[in-house]
Structure 1
Amino acid sequence: MTSQSELFRTPGPSLPDGARLRTVATVHGLITFTLARSRRRSIGFVIGSEGLRVTAPYWVSLKQIDEAVLEKAEWIQKKLDFWRQRNETADQAQQSWLACTQLPYLGATISIDIDVDARQARFDGDHFAPQLQDTLWLALPANASAEQRRAAAAHWLQTQAQQYFDQRIHALANNAGLRFQAWRLSRARARWGSCNSSGSIRLNWRLIHFTPDIIDYVIAHELAHLKQMNHSARFWQQVGIILPGYEAAMQKLKTTDMSTLPALQA
């Protein structure tokens, strides 16, 4: 059985100042967590891809912290199990992506192969309605390295993103009676999109990995900023006008970690 320490990256040297690792024995097994102190008034729990992080007030004793962990042990273990399974799935997918034999494209997992006689990449499915196991044929030599495959695949994906996003942003803007100054792809590592006060929109090209509903949500989100440069109730009302029923896609995107996307060079 894989241990928790193998599945969640041990913070080690990257621990914040004053933080420490601590382990508590529960009926559900050992729970290891990062403990940090702060001026907050109560004990807080955050569980993510790196495991459990507990933040406690300076005046709370270690015994009280351990008791709080024990009290929530069942809930904590369920969350840890969820992230453990998610990490394992992501690791398996990342191996395929690193070898560039499969990639997610518009929500479908497509296969990647090489056509040594081709002059340019070709896709054997519907470009904007891909199906499981459709194949992207890269114009590369038979002995192309994984790095070359990743670079070629990234180039093709960015080309598709440019075309698909352009169709969707104009369609959604026209339907809502909105006008934007310009738009372009971005390679941001921590943002899916942005809109500045002059009406210029940027969309992360990595969105092309996701299903169309998620892409539409991000576009609608940025278009809404043309009316409201904030995240007020009026802003979300505007998002709903542009894309009714956006909430499901928003929730799906919230559970997505950029670090789990294909390790492509771009």
Structure 2
Amino acid sequence: MSASLQRQLPHASSVSLNGRQVPYVTVANPRRKSISIYWTGRVEVRCPPGTTKRRVEAVLKEHADWVLAHLPAEGVPASRYCDGGVIPYRGGQAALVLGQERSVIMKVGDRTEVWLKVPKGADEDAVKMALALALKKYAWRVINDCWMRVIETAPKLPVVWRLSSAKTRWGSCTSRDTIRLSWRLIARSDTEIEYVIAHELAHLKEFNHSPRFWAEVERIYPGAVQIHESMRTLKAADKLDDL
């Protein structure tokens, strides 16, 4: 990994400030000679390489009043659409990294990061727009891969399937045998995506939600009913409906 890339990778941690647990990230930069604290939608500590966690947290505690003054009130969630924000991605999570030269999704160590070509101080709307564009590009490939696996057991195929921007429905099937799958499925695991595909394929034979329909879903994708029940309990934080 290049030195320039290492400078861009934040390290997440948390510290207790006046009785409140505060998450923060450290960003090392060889050009820095001292430690500085910034609020960029999160607490960001920029420091020289090799700075110890003890030293970073000592500085945070020294400036605790300033840090706490910039945090949202306790109980009020901060926006996840900011530098360091975390979104649901493929059944897990991905961290947003702003201020990059291009938008790309990549594995960095053991975590997934979404690099976005927007300034670190960009407002929420700008971040959401850039993020949606990036996720849509990846959604097509991911969902199509799932599609190709599921159709092997489908007795009937649609005239065509397309990505949609639906927020309240993962997928839909029309009377003209067209299936639409929301790109927001990128938030969920491959297993969940494949279940949604099987669900819509089953509608090509049973355009209802009768026992025959559910039997068809289960035949196309064994275990589908159990996945359906688990997806009904998903919370807003597990989806991308606000994007």
Q: TM-score, normalised by structure 1?
A: 0.56
CA distance in 1 between partners of 2:237 and 2:87 (Å): 15
- 8 Å Cα contact 2:167-2:241 kept in structure 1: no
For the 8 Å contact 1:121–1:137, the answer to whether it is kept is yes
- 1:187 aligns to 2:160 (yes or no): no
How far the C-alpha of 1:115 sits from its partner, in A, is: 4.0
1:207 aligned to 2:185? Answer: yes
Question: Does residue 103 of structure 2 align to residue 125 of structure 1?
Answer: no
SS in 2 for 1:159: helix
| Residue 89 (structure 2) pairs with residue 111 (structure 1) | no
How far has the Cα of 1:140 moved from its partner?
A: 2.1
TM-aligned CA distance change 1:262 to 1:228, over 3 Å: closer
1:245 Cα shift? Answer: 1.0
Other-structure match for 2:145: 167
Give the deviation of 1:253 after TM superposition: 1.0
Q: Which amino acid aligns with 1:121?
A: S
Instruction: For residue 103 of structure 1, report the CA deviation from its aligned partner.
Output: 0.9
1:95 corresponding residue in structure 2: 78
Alignment of 1:236-251 (within 5 A): 236-251=214-229
Q: Report the Cα distance in structure 2 between the residues aligned to 1:259 and 1:137, rounded to whole angstroms.
A: 20
SS at match of 2:93: strand
Seen in structure 2, the aligned counterparts of structure 1 residues 132 and 210 have a Cα distance that, compared at 3 Å, is: farther
The one-letter amino acid paired with 1:110 is A
Aligned residues: 168
CA contact 2:135–2:186 (8 Å) conserved in 1: yes
The offset of 1:98, in angstroms, is 3.7
Pair 1:148 & 2:126 matched: yes
Aligned residue type for 1:238: E
Measure how far apart 1:260 and its partner are: 6.5
Partner amino acid, structure 2, of 1:163: R
SS state at 2:78 partner: helix
Counterpart in the other structure of 1:228: 206
1:178: how far off? 2.8
Question: 1:50 — aligned with what?
Answer: none
Query: What SS does structure 1 have at the residue aligned with 2:208?
Result: coil
The letter of the residue matching 1:254 is: R
Give deviations 1:175-209, integer Å, cap 9, x for gaps. Answer: 33432111112222322211012210011222211
Shift of 1:212: 1.7
TM-score between both structures, scaled by the size of structure 2: 0.61
Unpaired segments ≥5 residues, structure 2:
1-74
> 1:210 deviation in Å?
1.3
Separation in 1, partners of 2:178, 2:229: 25
Percent of paired sites with the same residue: 32
Change (3 A) 1:216 1:114: same
Quick one: which of 114, 130, 134 aligns to 2:112? 134
Shift of 1:243: 0.5
- Secondary structure, aligned partner of 1:125: strand
CA RMSD of aligned residues (A): 2.5
Q: 1:189 to 1:261 in 2, by over 3 A?
A: same
**CA distance in 1 between partners of 2:147 and 2:182 (Å):** 13
CA distances 1:62-91 after superposition (whole Å, capped 9, x unpaired): xxxxxxxxxxxxxxxxxxxxxxxxxxxxx7
The 3 A distance-change label for structure 1 pair 197 and 170 is: farther
1:136 match: secondary structure: strand
Higher fraction of helix: 1
Looking at structure 2, the residues matched to 157 and 256 of structure 1 have their Cα atoms a distance apart, in angstroms, of 20
CA distance in 1 between partners of 2:238 and 2:106 (Å): 26
| TM-fit CA distance, 1:143 | 3.5
Structure 1 contact 97–262 (Cα < 8 Å) conserved: no
SS at structure 2 position matched to 1:228: coil
